[in-house]
Amino acid sequence: MQTIKNKTRKPLNVPLPHGKRLFLGPGRTGQIASKAADHPPLLALVEAEEIELLGEGASVAGRKGSTDASVSSGRGQNRGKVIFRSGDG
């Protein structure tokens, strides 16, 4: 797996092989297959300095000082908060 990072302040639609796409928000990271790193449209984004290839097996959670919110799985964030509707409404 290869980790990539969106270096822009806009969301990116990163083209991948076989017609797949990866949507990356501003400053966010994502993982792609190692083979996808050689895809010409992806390399064009790297050359345009819109995305950065962080390397093989680089883990977002494993980097020191990582404050990227994409590390969170999103599960259990509002645990215990239950809203009940009452009445005819």
Residue 88 burial by Cβ neighbours in a 10 Å radius (0-12, 13-18, 19+): exposed
Q: Which of 43, 44, 53 is nearest to 6 (CA)?
A: 53
Q: Would you place residue 55 in the very low, low, confident or very high pLDDT band (cuts 50, 70, 90)?
A: confident
- Tell me the three state secondary structure of residue 51: strand
The pLDDT value recorded for residue 67 is 42
| Residue pLDDT, tens place only, 12-44 | 999 999 999 999 999 999 999 988 889 999 999
Q: Is the pLDDT of residue 11 over 70?
A: yes
Q: Where are the domains of the chain?
A: 2-58
